[in-house]
Amino acid sequence: MRRLLHEMNPSLKFLAVTACMLALAFFFNPWTPLMFFLGIVLVQLLFSQTNWKLWSLVMLPFVFGAFGYFWTTLVFGESGDGPVLWTIGMIEITAQKWEHAWSLSLRVLAFSSISLLFAFTTNPVRFIQSLMQQGKLSPKLAFSVLISYQFLPVLKTEFEQLQQAHRLRGPGAKPAPFKRITALRRLLIPLLAGAVRKAERAAFAMEARAFTGAARSHYQEIKLGHKDYALLGMFSLVLALSCSAVFWT
C-alpha cells in the first residue's frame, strides 16, 4: 500500500498530473486549490514512501513564492468591487482582492504539491521506458534523454574533483568574489571537453550495439494494470471533490 504511487505506470501518472493541472487552471476561487493541495498531500502520505524532510525543504521555496503572490496581490492588485475589509495606510483591502490573493497563493501550493508528488514517486528511467512502450516515444529521443540524465552525476563529480585540484595547486587565500567568477572558465572548459569525450564514447558504444533508432524489444516490460486505473480514479476523485468546492461557498 505504501508504494502504490511508486509502482504506478509513469505515463499514466504523467497524464493524470497534467490533466489535474490543466483543470485547476480554470478555477479562480481559493477553496478549490486548497482542497486539492490537502488531498494530494494526503494521497502521498498514504500511498508513498516519501522523505518528508526532503519534501519540506523542496517545498519551502514554493511557500515563499506563494506568500509573495499573496502579498503583492494585496498591495498592488486592483481593488475591484466589494466591501472594504481593512485599510492599511493608503492600501484598501476589499473582499475581492482578499479572495484573489488567497486564490493565487493557494494555486501555487496546489501546482507544486502535485509536481513534487510526481517527482518523488517516479523513477526517471522507468518513466522514459514507459514513454517508449505506452507513449510510442522515439528510441533516439528516449535514449538521448537517458544518457543526458546519467551524465549529470558524473559531471557533478568531475566538477568537484576539478575544484579540489585547483585548490591544491592554487594559493591558500580565497580570491575576491569577482575573481572567483572569472576563474570558473578554468573549470568549465575542461569539464566541457570531458563531456564531449564521454558523449562521443557513448555514441560509439551505441553504434557498436547496432542502435539505429528503430523499434526495439524491451528487457523490462512496463504494463498497465488494475492498480494503475484505481490510482487514476483516485486522482480523478480528488480533483472532482476539489472542483466541487466552488459550489459549497
Per the CB < 8 A criterion, the answer to whether 110 and 66 are in contact is no
CA angle 14, 227, 223 (to 5 degrees): 65
pLDDT tens per residue, range 119-138: 999 988 888 888 888 888 88
CA distance 125 to 149: 9
The mean pLDDT value for 28-43 works out to 92
The pLDDT value recorded for residue 152 is 75
Which residues is 29 bridged to in the sheet?
A: none
Per the CB < 8 A criterion, the answer to whether 155 and 192 are in contact is no
pLDDT tens per residue, range 5-18: 999 999 999 999 99
Higher pLDDT, 195 or 44: 44
Residue ranges of domains in the chain: 4-128+224-247, 139-208
pTM over 0.85: no
Torsion of CA 180, 186, 189, 191, to 10 degrees: -80
The pLDDT value recorded for residue 180 is 64
Range with the lowest mean pLDDT among 37-46, 102-111, 164-173?
164-173
The mean pLDDT value for 83-95 works out to 70
Q: Is a pLDDT exceeding 60 seen at residue 171?
A: no
CA angle 23, 29, 31 (to 5 degrees): 90
CA distance 5 to 9: 9
CA distance 216 to 136: 11
Residue 216 corresponds to which cell in the numbers above? 526495439
Higher pLDDT, 106 or 133: 106
The pLDDT value recorded for residue 244 is 87
The mean pLDDT value for 157-177 works out to 71
pLDDT tens per residue, range 204-222: 777 777 776 666 676 778 8
